[in-house]
Amino acid sequence: MRTARVIRGIVGALLVAAFGHAHAQYALRADGAQVPGMVYPGVPGIVVADFDGDGRDDTAIAGLQIPTSYPDDQQPQSGLVAIVGYDAAHANYRVSQWLAGDQARLVGIASDHAAHPGLVLVSFDGVIEHYAGWPLVPVARIATGRPAQSMRVGDVDADGHLDVVIADATAGVAAYSLDDGTLVRTYAGRASSSIELVQLDADPALEIVLAGTPGFVVDGATNAMDWQDAGGFAPLLAAGRIVDAAHDGFIAAREAGYFSGYRGTPYSPIWSVKVARTDGVDVADIDGDGIDEILYSGDGGFRVYDARTQAVRESYYDLPLVHAGAARMKGGTARQYVSGARLNDAGGDTVQVRAAGGDIEYTLHAENAPFRATATADVSGDGVADAVWISAYSNARYQGGRLHVYDPATGVERWSGLLSADGTPLGYMSLSAVAVGPMHAAAPADIAVAAVTNSYQMILHRLDGATHLVTASNATTGFTSIEHLVAMPAQRLLAATSTTDGVRLALFDGTDLHRIALSVIDASLGTTALDVQTAPGIGAGVVLFATGAAVVAFDTVTMTVAWSQPLNAVSAAVVQRAGGALVVVALDRDGGLHMFGTDGEPLDAFALGNGEAGAVRAVPGDPGKAIACVDRRLVLADIDGYAAVAESAPIGALACDRGGLFVDAPRGGVVHVRASSLGGVFDLDVAGPRIFTDGFEASTP
């Protein structure tokens, strides 16, 4: 093996220089949409503001991308924010922008209080990100080096400049300048997992409310203690005009028992409301009288309380997730309530917009992870390429997953629906894998999906892309799960999955889906099917497996391993070099790209990034180029120059999971890319010569 050429990450200067290089034909920009699997939407926070300047409120709602429905600090994860607005021209709600950053799980979001408002995000690892303008673009990133459990934004010391105050029960409380990121001050002796900023006395500095027992109110400029309450302040905090139209107060709520209102000088509790359970409290002036109402989430419902009388004004039986916001998203006086919600105990998380006193008008999505995309093909038979993706389930878990077909050139959805053989849904069918290709002679391309029923029966279905109906099924696949489907030559279909005995795979006939052959790759070569791809140019029946322990070339004609190389590989693909020779490239977990001959002989290796690698694919029709998911970004690699030449903005922590990356041939200098994961489906264009620094909004000149 020749000496590996290594790059230690990618810096901005390298990227700028790369655009003048002969190999840098593309920059990576997000031109499409993302359909997220947002977990716990609204838990980190909700912000209502007119971000796009159209005179109507928008709502920023934060959530997580993680591999399961239950956050674990050891999992890869990414903060995710959706900006939801109302499109008056088309009379519908829409996601006008996504912020899928490279920060970890978010602890909170807040407005920057600008005339043209922006957003401030803070992650659990103490990274502050500031977005401004429209579309929102990152203008500052501050790595504080201290953990955070709570955050607020305000001019805490009355010096005329905004501060970001972060707090942690162990690391304490600190304020950072939103202007330049400098540490403004720390608050000695103060620590809390939850804080609030509020004007409670006559001096101009804000007060900091610290939850705990005892509870404290301290001066934001001096750290002097203004009030100590022996009974303590409950951890769910909100602040606003709850005393009267001229005086602010704050609310503290416990998860069980009650929530209480407090006033400033003279400091005292002013009322308490007994409830069974509280998930969250927020405030908003619903009726425009200058006094805020209380938005309460808990007891299996959502209520609006009068702050003066504590009477319930409105009540809805929903399952909001912690925070709610009140907005005038359609303009005028009509208002809506926005919250994260769990549709039912077995259903997926979603974002919902409800008209005050009326019905739910919008849900961000009624589908959930894992999402899977596939290569493009003319599945409808109209001579135009289609892009296909699936979700695992929709609405409630028992409705099953949905199939989506859309135009990859415009992002416009052509059709979507549940699986059906005669127009009637087949019932619960959780979708786990999808492939497109010519599976029988009567159609230019079909759609194959793997589905599991509520009795855990694994079924293969083939759909006609023109009629959208199931035309063949096999309920005796011999699998209890299918993680990958690959359309093979000669109208065959390959299915693969992970088992403790090794990677299990089978060939099926595309015409009627009967099984032709079954095999298991020995466990010594790995037990996890992280990626499965055809190997064009190596052999008609050869597929490449990445198992986390090896890269494996498997011959589906003889059903034997052709060759293997030990490597902690997450993905592999065949790439043509500029001179015409074919090589196998394999991406390891840490972002290293390894090259092998078509016979498995090791060649070269170099680093594309520093970790969180997902998948790698060749750029069709452009020798020497590959695109990989590394470091939560898409990276364009020049395999002949042993270098990364461009990278995209962050696309979240879980993009390209289990080989979920598909790259189309260039058209007019644009390469279309789809990246799917447990977190969502990303629809991207790779076009130059620029890097679009933000991500996931409509095309922008």
Rounded Cα–Cα distance for residues 629 and 626 (Å):
10
Cα radius of gyration (the chain): 27
At which of 456, 487, 521 does a domain end? 521
The answer on 543 and 499 residing in a single domain is: no
Rounded Cα–Cα distance for residues 294 and 306 (Å):
7
pLDDT band at 381 (very low <50, low <70, confident <90, very high): confident
Rounded to 10 degrees, what is the CA torsion of 410, 412, 417, 423? -100
- Name the nearest CA neighbour of 653 among 121, 105, 35: 105
At which of 482, 505, 521 does a domain end? 521
- Average pLDDT over the chain reads 85
The answer on 561 and 502 residing in a single domain is: no
Strands laid side by side in the 46-49 sheet: 46-49, 58-65, 78-87, 92-100
Instruction: Say if 346 falls within a structural domain.
Output: no
Structure tokens that stand for 328 in this block: 């005038």
Rounded Cα–Cα distance for residues 504 and 502 (Å):
6
pLDDT surpassing 80 at residue 368: no
The answer on 534 and 516 residing in a single domain is: no
pLDDT surpassing 80 at residue 232: yes
- Name the nearest CA neighbour of 221 among 248, 187, 195: 187
Task: Quote the pLDDT of residue 406.
Answer: 82
Rounded Cα–Cα distance for residues 208 and 308 (Å):
23
Task: Quote the pLDDT of residue 196.
Answer: 98
Structure tokens that stand for 439 in this block: 């599976």
pLDDT surpassing 70 at residue 65: no
Rounded Cα–Cα distance for residues 348 and 365 (Å):
9
The answer on 681 and 642 residing in a single domain is: yes
DSSP 354-406: EETTS-EEEES-SEESPPEE---B--SSSSS-BEEEE-SEETTGGG---EEEE
Share of the chain above pLDDT 70, in %: 84
The answer on 474 and 618 residing in a single domain is: no
Rounded Cα–Cα distance for residues 245 and 292 (Å):
8
Task: Quote the pLDDT of residue 632.
Answer: 75
Q: How far separated are the first and last CA of the chain, in Å rounded?
A: 45
The answer on 475 and 562 residing in a single domain is: no
Three-state SS letters, 662-673? EECCCECCEEEE
- CATH assignment of the domain containing 639: 2.130.10.10
- Name the nearest CA neighbour of 472 among 443, 448, 490: 448
Structure tokens that stand for 487 in this block: 């359309």
- CATH assignment of the domain containing 413: 2.40.128.630
The answer on 574 and 509 residing in a single domain is: no
Each residue's pLDDT tens digit, 259-301? 999 999 999 999 999 998 888 899 999 999 999 999 998 887 8
pLDDT surpassing 70 at residue 95: yes
Rounded Cα–Cα distance for residues 262 and 272 (Å):
9
Each residue's pLDDT tens digit, 686-695? 543 222 222 2
Q: What is the reported pTM? A: 0.75
Q: What is the mean pLDDT of residues 339-368?
A: 73
Rounded Cα–Cα distance for residues 326 and 336 (Å):
6
pLDDT surpassing 80 at residue 504: yes
pLDDT surpassing 60 at residue 131: yes
Q: Cite the beta strand spans of 117-220 per DSSP E.
A: 119-123, 127-132, 137-143, 150-154, 163-168, 172-177, 183-186, 195-198, 207-210, 215-219
Task: Quote the pLDDT of residue 38.
Answer: 73
Task: Quote the pLDDT of residue 8.
Answer: 24
pLDDT surpassing 90 at residue 547: yes
Q: What is the mean pLDDT of residues 312-337?
A: 88
Each residue's pLDDT tens digit, 426-484? 878 889 999 999 888 777 889 999 998 878 889 999 999 889 999 999 999 999 999 99
The answer on 618 and 515 residing in a single domain is: no
Q: What is the mean pLDDT of residues 625-653?
A: 84
Instruction: Say if 408 falls within a structural domain.
Output: yes
Share of the chain above pLDDT 90, in %: 57
The residue segments making up the domain with residue 419 are 378-521
CA-based torsion, 627, 628, 630, 634: positive or negative: positive
C-alpha 590, offset from chain centre:
21
At 297, which helix (H) or strand (E)?
strand 293-298
Residues 319-355 as b/e (b if ≥16 CB within 10 A, e otherwise) read bbbbbbbbbbbbeeeebbbbbbbbbeeebbbbbbbbe
Cβ neighbors of 13 (< 8 A, separation 6 or more) are none
Rounded Cα–Cα distance for residues 386 and 445 (Å):
10
Each residue's pLDDT tens digit, 573-600? 999 999 999 999 999 999 999 999 999 9
Amino acid in position 446: D
Phi, psi of 524 (to 5 degrees): -65, -20
Rounded Cα–Cα distance for residues 274 and 506 (Å):
60
519 by Cβ neighbours in 10 Å (0-12 / 13-18 / 19+) ranks as middle
Tokens 């790439």, located at residue: 575
The answer on 532 and 508 residing in a single domain is: no
> 586 pairs with which residues across the strands?
572, 594
Instruction: Say if 318 falls within a structural domain.
Output: no
The answer on 675 and 572 residing in a single domain is: yes
The answer on 386 and 475 residing in a single domain is: yes
Rounded Cα–Cα distance for residues 457 and 455 (Å):
6
Count of CA atoms in the C-beta half-sphere (13 A) of 230: 0
Instruction: Say if 563 falls within a structural domain.
Output: yes
Instruction: Say if 613 falls within a structural domain.
Output: yes
Rounded Cα–Cα distance for residues 8 and 31 (Å):
28
Task: Quote the pLDDT of residue 104.
Answer: 67
Instruction: Say if 123 falls within a structural domain.
Output: no
Instruction: Say if 109 falls within a structural domain.
Output: no
The more confident residue out of 31 and 666 is 666
Task: Quote the pLDDT of residue 3.
Answer: 30
CB 406 within 8 A of CB 387: yes
The answer on 419 and 395 residing in a single domain is: yes
Instruction: Say if 662 falls within a structural domain.
Output: yes
> 367 pairs with which residues across the strands?
394
Task: Quote the pLDDT of residue 185.
Answer: 95
Q: How many domains does the chain have?
A: 2
At which of 521, 556, 585 does a domain end? 521
